[in-house]
Amino acid sequence: MQVSSLGKKPLLRIAATLAIPLAVVFSVNTGAQEEDERKYDDVETQQRQAVGQKCGKVLEGVQELTEKESWAQAQSALLGASSSCTSSYEKSQVYNFLGYVYYSQDKYKEAVQAYNNMIREPEADQKQVINTRYTIAQLYLIMEDYAAAARELEAWMKVSPIVGADAKVLLAQAYYQLDRKDRALSLVEEAIREQESKGNLPKEGWWSLQRVLYYEKNDYNKVVDILKKLIKHYPSYSYWRQLGGMYGELGKTVEQLVSNEVVYLAGQFDDQERQLVSMAYLYLGSEAPFLAARVLETGMKEGKIERNGENLELLGTAWQQASDSRRALPVLEQAAKAAGKGDLYARLSGVYLDLDQNEKSVTAARNAINRGGLKRTDITYMNLGNALINLHCYNDAIKAFRQAAKYEKSEKYARQWIQYAENEGDRRQQLIESGAKIAGCKKV
């Protein structure tokens, strides 16, 4: 979970982030400080304390060391500053610098301890104390101690005269990790409303957190609305992919296809094979089998989709549904050899039948029936019967149609074909007996 940045910047530019009061320590007064002081006009403060000459010299030396990123030397200097910095106020400044030095060395626990020591000093500057509580909360988030982070932020909000949107989102992040998701959602939405009411653009991470919270509430329509805002203001193909997923959850197939097509046409699929195959399924579901076949075929040529039995079967199915049996045939033959599934041989039988390759259709149909596991055994028997009729094997065709008639979905048509086979068989037999030279049954 993203937290506010505590990046290692030059010391003079990190005062606002890490609550290091350089202006106080070195009696520097800037316009930014004056503005900050106006924000804290209602904060009860003590008379400003001064840093003695001896202590000031130590802190100036520490500043030079930190600007050189000589963290170990700076730490040593601060730990040895007790003889020079003796007043409560001076100690608070030493602890404050020490917290920053520890943070810069990724010693987060020690940094928290140092900042807590600073807060406990009775003469510490109260504005600085307030800012430091916020810093401590950020450090707890870095350490993934979300309960402590929430506790510190709650304490900070009680005393801070200004609680900005960033702070609310920070607490929302802690609440999310603590499974206090309703409160987290309330805070992040409050932050977003505040920004929008001022005509400002909410941060990307705020909408992202809001999206996650609504997703976990299964409010997919709201997630779609948020993703549309993210796409508009923070364009990313990952958001288009997520939008497609949400439309899928809502059963909006056309919108799902369009969202994924944007990513596909831009060549921005991350998991190439999985997403390309999913794209093909979307095209098939939208009755665009030719486009599905092109996605699969191109993906295989470019090495992005493996030519295994399952993918070849899908490609063959796409070409078959696109009424391009000649392209479907070699693909389904490869798929059948690779997978050996009954359903593949059943589909292959239908393609052979469409291409008037009746002997191969019969062989494939029998292969399918012997292997079993067919989704529509009745259709396979119907294909077998039709191929046998084309080979003038009427008695064998009748046997196949009788098997198909056992299934309710094919019973009506199977009986019609039985009647046709019986009549045509009798007619051709009479012609043969009359001396007609016509082809008879070619056994397969």
pLDDT at position 271: 78
Question: Does 147 have pLDDT greater than 80?
Answer: yes
Residue 435 binned pLDDT confidence (cut-offs 50, 70, 90)? confident
Domains detected in the chain: 1-161 (1.25.40.10), 269-331 (1.25.40)
Which is higher by pLDDT, 340 or 317?
A: 317
Question: Does 329 have pLDDT greater than 50?
Answer: yes
Listed range (33-37, 275-279, 386-390) with the worst mean pLDDT: 33-37
Packing angle of the helix pair 358-371, 377-390 (nearest 10 deg): 150
Which is higher by pLDDT, 342 or 186?
A: 186
Residue 49 binned pLDDT confidence (cut-offs 50, 70, 90)? low
pLDDT at position 437: 79
Residue 20 binned pLDDT confidence (cut-offs 50, 70, 90)? very low
Q: What is the DSSP string of 323-367?
A: T-HHHHHHHHHHHHHHH--HHHHHHHHHHHHHTT-HHHHHHHHHH
Listed range (1-10, 271-280, 389-398, 406-415) with the worst mean pLDDT: 1-10
Residue 428 binned pLDDT confidence (cut-offs 50, 70, 90)? confident
Residue 47 binned pLDDT confidence (cut-offs 50, 70, 90)? very low
pLDDT at position 11: 32
Q: Do residues 162 and 49 lie in contact, with contact meaning Cβ atoms separated by under 8 Å?
A: no
Question: Does 76 have pLDDT greater than 70?
Answer: yes
Q: Do residues 353 and 346 lie in contact, with contact meaning Cβ atoms separated by under 8 Å?
A: no
Handedness of CA 394, 399, 402, 406 (dihedral sign): negative
Query: What is the pTM for the complete model shown?
Result: 0.70
How far is 363 from 103, CA to CA, in rounded Å? 75
CB-based contacts of 9: which residues, under 8 Å, 6+ apart?
Answer: 17
pLDDT digits (tens, 9 = 90+) for 26-45: 222 323 333 344 444 444 44
- Residue holding tokens 């923070």? 234
Q: Do residues 152 and 137 lie in contact, with contact meaning Cβ atoms separated by under 8 Å?
A: yes
How far is 111 from 129, CA to CA, in rounded Å? 15
How far is 381 from 145, CA to CA, in rounded Å? 66
Handedness of CA 170, 171, 175, 178 (dihedral sign): positive
pLDDT at position 51: 86
Q: Do residues 97 and 20 lie in contact, with contact meaning Cβ atoms separated by under 8 Å?
A: yes
First to last CA, the chain: 68
CB-based contacts of 35: which residues, under 8 Å, 6+ apart?
Answer: none
Residue 267 binned pLDDT confidence (cut-offs 50, 70, 90)? confident
How far is 259 from 255, CA to CA, in rounded Å? 6
**Amino acid in the structure at residue 299:** G
Hey, what long-range contacts does 396-403 have (CB within 8 A, 24 or more apart)?
396/441, 397/421, 398/422, 398/425, 403/378
Nearest to 352 by CA among 338, 341, 340, 367: 367
- Look at residue 84 and give its three-state secondary structure: coil
Q: Mean pLDDT, the chain, as a whole number?
A: 87
pLDDT at position 15: 32
Nearest to 122 by CA among 54, 36, 26, 49: 49
Q: Widest CA span of the chain, in angstroms?
A: 132
How far is 348 from 359, CA to CA, in rounded Å? 12
Q: Both tokens of residue 424?
A: 């045509």
Alpha helices in 82-164 (DSSP H): 88-104, 108-120, 126-142, 146-159
Q: Both tokens of residue 309?
A: 């039995």
